[in-house]
């Protein structure tokens, strides 16, 4: 009987479809994660590391198989005051709680960015740091004999052609080697806004000292909007 009750309890947990972040933001399970994923761990990890005020622009988080995510070959996105997250049901990507935590925190960064646009971008310092890194990346790729217009490297906004060049032509595995000490991840080179969101990830889940070392302006901006003391 005891084993039966235990199994029934575990099954009910696995079949649960609604959770809360900070007892406020609902997380809805439309399609379940793989069985080994512990959603309660994910929630606790986020609540431990992210200030609750950063979720001010998020009405809900949805987990499922969404056509837009699949078409764009991405794992998560922030859109219309909600985060949409892949359930990894049909994905070949190895998934863990940490991968999902990083995806959610990345999108929390995008959502909070909308609230602090002026503080982040008005003085152009962050953009200047990003473009200087893009110029350096152009020189690195040029030395590797990749051919692409330098003008694309000078545009801080998202450009699909540039994104596909990084993702398809070079590949993130090789790009990660070429950008060590320059960007926190290959994807952060995609656009200024991704540069911020990846820095946000690094600040709250990764290595603050490394972020401060390679992206000092980005570090200062995140520290400013976080209103916290330097660790």
Domain ranges, ordered by start, for the chain? 14-115, 118-226
pLDDT of 190 reads: 95
Asked if 66 and 157 count as a contact pair (C-beta separation under 8 A), the reply is: no
Question: Who's near 177: CB < 8 A, 6+ residues apart?
Answer: none
pLDDT at residue 212 tops 90: yes
pLDDT of 31 reads: 95
- How far apart, in Å, are the Cα atoms of 162 and each of 46, 64, 106, 184, 199? 32, 28, 21, 18, 20
pLDDT in tens, 22-37: 999 999 999 999 999 9
Please report, rounded to a whole number, the percentage of residues in the chain having pLDDT higher than 90.
81
In this structure, what token pair is assigned to residue 153?
């490297």
- How far apart, in Å, are the Cα atoms of 142 and each of 5, 37, 185? 63, 42, 20
pLDDT of 168 reads: 87
pLDDT in tens, 42-69: 999 999 999 999 999 999 999 999 999 9
d(CA 26, CA 19): 6
How confident is the model over 174-188, as a mean pLDDT?
93
How confident is the model over 74-102, as a mean pLDDT?
92
- How far apart, in Å, are the Cα atoms of 47 and each of 8, 55, 109, 210, 228? 28, 11, 14, 23, 16
pLDDT of 167 reads: 86
pTM: 0.89
Asked if 88 and 141 count as a contact pair (C-beta separation under 8 A), the reply is: no
H or E stretch at 26: strand 25-29
pLDDT of 172 reads: 86
pLDDT at residue 203 tops 90: yes
pLDDT of 14 reads: 60
pLDDT in tens, 145-170: 998 899 999 999 999 999 989 988 99
Asked if 141 and 170 count as a contact pair (C-beta separation under 8 A), the reply is: yes
In this structure, what token pair is assigned to residue 39?
């959603």
Strand partners, 78: 83
């Amino acid at each position: 009987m005891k084993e039966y009750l235990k199994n029934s309890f575990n099954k009910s947990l696995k079949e649960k479809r609604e959770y809360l972040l900070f007892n406020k933001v609902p997380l809805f399970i439309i399609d379940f994660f793989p069985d080994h994923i512990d959603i309660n761990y994910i929630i606790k990890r986020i609540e431990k590391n992210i200030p609750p005020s950063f979720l001010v622009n998020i009405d809900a988080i949805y987990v499922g198989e969404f056509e837009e995510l699949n078409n764009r070959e991405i794992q998560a996105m922030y859109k219309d005051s909600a985060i949409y997250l892949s359930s990894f049901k049909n994905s070949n990507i190895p998934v863990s709680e940490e991968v999902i935590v990083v995806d959610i925190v990345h999108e929390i960064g995008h959502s909070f960015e909308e609230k602090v646009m002026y503080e982040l971008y008005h003085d152009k310092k962050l953009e200047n740091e990003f473009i200087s890194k893009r110029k350096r990346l152009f020189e690195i790729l040029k030395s590797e004999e990749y051919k692409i217009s330098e003008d694309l490297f000078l545009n801080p906004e998202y450009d699909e052609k540039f994104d596909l060049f990084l993702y398809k032509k070079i590949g993130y595995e090789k790009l990660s080697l070429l950008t060590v000490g320059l960007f926190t991840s290959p994807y952060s080179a995609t656009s200024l806004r991704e540069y911020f969101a990846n820095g946000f990830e690094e600040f709250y889940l990764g290595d603050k000292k490394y972020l401060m070392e390679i992206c000092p302006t980005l570090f200062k901006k995140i520290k400013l909007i976080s209103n916290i003391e330097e660790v």
